[in-house]
Structure 1
Amino acid sequence: MEQHDWEKGCAINGLHAVDLHEEETRYLVDRSIETQTTDGQLTYGSLGLTPYGWEPDWAGDKNEYKSYADPVVPGHGVLEYYDRTGEEYYLDAARKQYEQLRSIETTEDGGIPISRGEKELLLDSLYHFAPFMARYGQLADEPDAIDEAVFQIKVHADRCHDPFSGLYRQGWRESPNSFAQGTFWSRGVAWLTTAIVATLPYVPEDHDGYDDLVEILQNVCETVLEYQDDSGFWHNTIDDETSPLEASGTLMFVYTFEEGIEQGVLDKDTFGEPSQRAMNVCKGLVNSQGGVRRVAVVPGGPEAPLGVALHGQGFFLLAASYFL
């Protein structure tokens, strides 16, 4: 797992949700701090695209890909251990990572781009850094960090929203003004929904942006329901019934629905049964080694091959934690 960055972070989040492999999980978090770069990026900085044997045209040259957002995901675990232990070691590491994010040159409307090079806002980034920022703000008593988390979700959502379908494209490019990856990819939409439900617990309900986030969440979740397949899955391209039924987006919607229901921002009568159907069908995907099959592998997208990947396992555990 150590060769990964954001995928490892998703797996750590899943393991924390079900209280498994504590020793190994803390080792991975501590190792992410030990390999924090001079400018504050955790887990060796960006490791680039993980080699799964394919590379889509839109991903560019992986040798030039240096993500700002991907190394932040293990930071969720860093803050979890600060919350548990109170050790300043963890808060100091989180502070460096937060300050690095705030140092990045943004788009004209203030969005933090996912990587160096062209300024692109990808919904992936939101799960990567918005919950981290908001929780850091709460734990460090820095309300500006909570404000920034809310602002980033709103900027990314505004740029990627399709007003005709109510869905969200995965990414937007500032120059030229265009969609970096224009399909309605299920995991792309789910990055937005998971980011919101993971951020809301750290945003005061009287915050100016709280109701805005809830409204975005409710609207997109209601739209997503229209596309659920009778099997319980969602398709990899959410509005294309000829695309494969895919696990990671499906599990991320389960996590979204269950966490939203628990927070009281999503209606159980509306979302509970679709969530249960999705979880039931995903149970059959776990192989004898614990891998979760039918996951669109990194970097994802509409043409991604399906296989086994850490983020699939992480979101399976996050989703399953509500059914234990």
Structure 2
Amino acid sequence: MEHSQIRELVGRVTDFALHNTEERDVWEKSIALTAILTWNDPEAVQKAERIIARSVATQNSDGNLNYSDAVDGLPGHIKTFTPIASLTSSLARPLLEYYKRTGNTAYLEAADLQMQALMNSPRTSGGGFWSRGEGPELWIDMVYMMTPFLVSYGQIKEDPSYLEEAVLQHRVAIERLVDPFTGLSRHAWCEVPNHYPQSTFWARGNGWLTAVTVDLLEMMGPHPARDFIAETGMRALREMAKYQDRSGFFRHIIDGPGSKKEASATLIYAYSVAKAVRLGLLYDNWLDSAWRAFNVVAGSVRADGMVPGVAIPPGGPGVPFASAPFGQGFFILAAYELLGLAGGEGAK
């Protein structure tokens, strides 16, 4: 696909994301917002700020930015879900980026409240923040949702304790969720009773792990935990690569031959590989698989910019497929990284 075609597609995918008026999927929009800020088209960045402003205006009394209403009767393996700060912190990542760009102190004040909510959250015995209000659980998703916020906040406040907290949360999740035999992550671990509510290797779940690996390594600078973070993330990528379909897609359950091909995991893989190459974590010969992943999803993008074929939260088996803001976001992020490595300009 020509670079000009990719840039045109990114424009349509961005427009689709910006026209989403559903306010109760704000955590999903956080990835789209991060992508729009990364691509850095001035008009899109300006339009997307309304989402941040609205989120600050509706911030809960407990400090949580997203509409954090409990949800009952979810498909898949999670029947009830009460979001807490490990999830709602996802929106604070682009919030802080807008603060850095605008200097709007209301944004920093909102981030302060969100950080208080996170630091006051209940923890597992190992120190990991719970992933939902129903009990002591760790989900691999939440490492992606909260640790970049911790790192960015600590940099703004010039307080290294937040980086140490991010490293702790990452390490606890790896120790509890990553299978020692394969290096792949399971979705969720419940401390009481000690079990895995859904124990298959979910492709997007492993994508959360690989994406946060490259993001943290880019953000955090020198640290004794860098090798641990890099090794576990790259091991997951190498294992994922074994299951890539010849079409370029990954299946929703990554090692399930009868599972549906899923777009968001495929895009996250493309993004993670391309960024890992840029950071010197993988060799250039990995880019062929990243391009195959991106191109096969690009070929499915609708005329209105919708990225289809995304497994709807909470993920795991049995969920419907449709579109979601994080699918839009990872399309933009993957395009940015791949075009940058190919010598093309990311933003217009």
The interval holding the TM-score normalised by the smaller chain is: over 0.9
SS of the equivalent of 2:80 reads: coil
SS of the equivalent of 1:232 reads: coil
The answer as to whether partners of 1:58 and 1:180 remain within 8 angstroms in 2 is yes
> In the alignment, what sits opposite 2:342?
none
1:27 and 2:50 correspond: yes
The answer as to whether partners of 1:81 and 1:90 remain within 8 angstroms in 2 is yes
**Matches of 1:88 and 1:209 in 2, distance apart?**
32
**Matches of 2:150 and 2:199 in 1, distance apart?**
27
The correspondence of residues 128-277 of structure 1 with structure 2, limited to 5 A, is 128-205=145-222, 207-269=223-285, 271-277=286-292
**Matches of 1:48 and 1:247 in 2, distance apart?**
27
**Matches of 2:226 and 2:116 in 1, distance apart?**
23
Q: How far 1:38 sits from its partner (Å)?
A: 2.0
> In the alignment, what sits opposite 1:55?
74
1:111 to 123, 128, 131: 128
The answer as to whether partners of 1:32 and 1:42 remain within 8 angstroms in 2 is yes
The answer as to whether partners of 2:148 and 2:166 remain within 8 angstroms in 1 is yes
**Matches of 1:104 and 1:298 in 2, distance apart?**
22
Which ranges in structure 2 are unaligned for 5 or more consecutive residues?
1-21, 340-345
> In the alignment, what sits opposite 2:24?
3
The answer as to whether partners of 2:77 and 2:316 remain within 8 angstroms in 1 is no
**Matches of 2:97 and 2:329 in 1, distance apart?**
16
Code of the aligned partner of 2:212: A
Identity %: 35
The answer as to whether partners of 1:12 and 1:25 remain within 8 angstroms in 2 is yes
Number of aligned residues: 316
1:12-56 Cα distance to aligned partner (Å, 9 max, x none): 112222234223211101111111122211133x1445x9xx722
The correspondence of residues 264-303 of structure 1 with structure 2, limited to 5 A, is 264-269=280-285, 271-303=286-318
**Matches of 2:298 and 2:226 in 1, distance apart?**
34
Identify the structure with bigger relative contact order (alpha carbons < 8 Å, sequence gap 6+): 2
The answer as to whether partners of 1:2 and 1:8 remain within 8 angstroms in 2 is no
The answer as to whether partners of 2:86 and 2:142 remain within 8 angstroms in 1 is yes
Deviates more, 1:87-96 or 1:177-186: 87-96
**Matches of 2:284 and 2:111 in 1, distance apart?**
35
Q: How far 1:291 sits from its partner (Å)?
A: 0.7
Q: Taking structure 2 as the reference length, what is the TM-score of the superposition?
A: 0.86
**Matches of 2:187 and 2:105 in 1, distance apart?**
36
1:181-210 Cα distance to aligned partner (Å, 9 max, x none): 2110001111111122222222122x1211
> In the alignment, what sits opposite 2:11?
none
Would the alpha carbon gap of residues 315 and 204 (structure 1) be closer, same or farther in structure 2, given more than 3 Å must change?
Answer: same
Q: How far 1:221 sits from its partner (Å)?
A: 1.1
The answer as to whether partners of 2:252 and 2:262 remain within 8 angstroms in 1 is yes
Q: How far 1:85 sits from its partner (Å)?
A: 2.5
1:311 to 307, 323, 326: 326
1:17 and 2:34 correspond: no
SS of the equivalent of 2:37 reads: helix
1:39 to 44, 53, 62: 62
**Matches of 1:32 and 1:115 in 2, distance apart?**
20
SS of the equivalent of 2:77 reads: helix
**Matches of 2:95 and 2:326 in 1, distance apart?**
18
**Matches of 1:48 and 1:248 in 2, distance apart?**
25
Q: How far 1:173 sits from its partner (Å)?
A: 0.4
1:204-238 Cα distance to aligned partner (Å, 9 max, x none): 22x12111111111211111111111110111000
Which ranges in structure 1 are unaligned for 5 or more consecutive residues?
none
**Matches of 1:195 and 1:135 in 2, distance apart?**
13
Code of the aligned partner of 1:136: Y
**Matches of 1:178 and 1:105 in 2, distance apart?**
19
RMSD: 1.7
> In the alignment, what sits opposite 2:10?
none
